[in-house]
Structure formats: structure tokens, C-alpha cells
């Protein structure tokens, strides 16, 4: 590991925020249109809502309740990781973070050859080597190893 720079792209997002919002707007609009149509029919006449409409409304409520509960998984280099799982990947300690429709893998620390953890933004000196774990922004972290 002498005098080498290790660079790593940390962030992997499954759906962009725009795609996520668009997905929700389509589903919510669909259910609102059904609901408004049925409510108009009920208000303008003495009809009751059909059983199908009631079931669709129940499914919509179920969707709203479960949408954030269903755990998203991170996929990194062909492996799936559950929300909150931490693992080592080369010279980096990684973590899966899933929130709704967005799952991302982030580096939470760097690792030396011996497995010593170096926090992001920290520097340690070991065996005559200066080891720095630097946050470059935009989801990138680099491990710098230089002579002390």
C-alpha cells in the first residue's frame, strides 16, 4: 500500500428524487381520480360506492402505510445488502442506507492493510506511514498513504 492513492465512488442511488416524486404522483393521481368520480356519483345520487371502489381505496391506504415500511436493499458489486448493514470492501468500510425508494451505499471509513479503521477526515501514522482518509465530496472518498 506504499505511496498509493485509492479512490472509490461511494454512492449508488436506485431512483433519482425526480423519478421517485413522479412515481408517487402517478399512483396518487390514479386513486384520487377514482375517489372523486365515485364521491361525485354518491353525492349526486343516492347510490353507494361499489365494492370495487372500496377495495381500491383500501389498497391505496395500504400502499401509503407500507410504502416506507418495505425495506429497500442496496446492490453493490452484484451483492445485496439490507438497510443498516456495514461491511468491508477493500480499503473501505461501507454502509447500506435505505429510505423509501432510495437506497445508497456510502463509505463510512477507510481501512489500512492491517484493518485499522481511519475515520473520514482523519489521519493516522503507523509504521512510518501517514495514512489519510479524505472526503472529496460528490460521494467520493480517497485513502492517501505517504511516508511520514
Q: In this predicted model, what pLDDT tens digit does every residue of 52-85 receive, in sequence order?
A: 666 776 676 666 655 555 557 888 888 988 889 9
What is the pTM assigned to this prediction? Answer: 0.55
Examine the domain organization and report whether 22 and 75 are in the same domain: no
Q: In this predicted model, what pLDDT tens digit does every residue of 109-133 receive, in sequence order?
A: 999 988 899 999 999 998 888 999 9
Look up the domain containing 87 and give its range: 5-15+71-147
Examine the domain organization and report whether 44 and 79 are in the same domain: no
User: Cα–Cα distance between 74 and 86 in angstroms, integer?
Assistant: 11
Examine the domain organization and report whether 79 and 42 are in the same domain: no
Domain count along the chain: 2
Examine the domain organization and report whether 82 and 142 are in the same domain: yes
User: Cα–Cα distance between 55 and 19 in angstroms, integer?
Assistant: 27
Boundary residue ending a domain (66, 87, 105): 66
Average pLDDT, the chain: 74
Examine the domain organization and report whether 95 and 141 are in the same domain: yes
pLDDT of residue 44: 58
Amino acid at each position: 500500500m506504499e505511496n498509493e492513492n485509492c479512490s472509490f465512488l461511494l454512492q449508488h442511488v436506485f431512483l433519482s428524487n425526480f423519478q421517485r416524486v413522479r412515481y408517487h404522483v402517478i399512483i396518487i393521481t390514479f386513486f384520487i381520480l377514482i375517489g372523486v368520480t365515485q364521491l361525485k356519483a354518491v353525492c349526486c345520487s343516492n347510490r353507494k360506492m361499489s365494492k370495487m371502489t372500496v377495495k381500491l381505496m383500501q389498497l391505496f391506504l395500504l400502499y401509503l402505510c407500507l410504502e416506507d415500511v418495505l425495506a429497500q436493499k442496496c446492490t453493490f458489486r452484484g451483492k445485496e445488502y439490507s438497510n443498516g448493514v456495514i461491511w468491508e470492501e477493500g480499503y473501505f468500510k461501507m454502509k447500506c442506507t435505505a429510505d423509501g425508494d432510495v437506497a445508497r451505499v456510502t463509505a463510512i471509513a477507510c481501512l489500512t492493510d492491517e484493518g485499522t479503521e481511519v475515520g473520514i477526515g482523519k489521519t493516522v501514522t503507523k509504521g512510518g506511514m501517514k495514512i489519510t482518509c479524505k472526503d472529496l465530496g460528490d460521494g467520493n472518498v480517497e485513502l492517501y498513504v505517504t511516508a511520514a
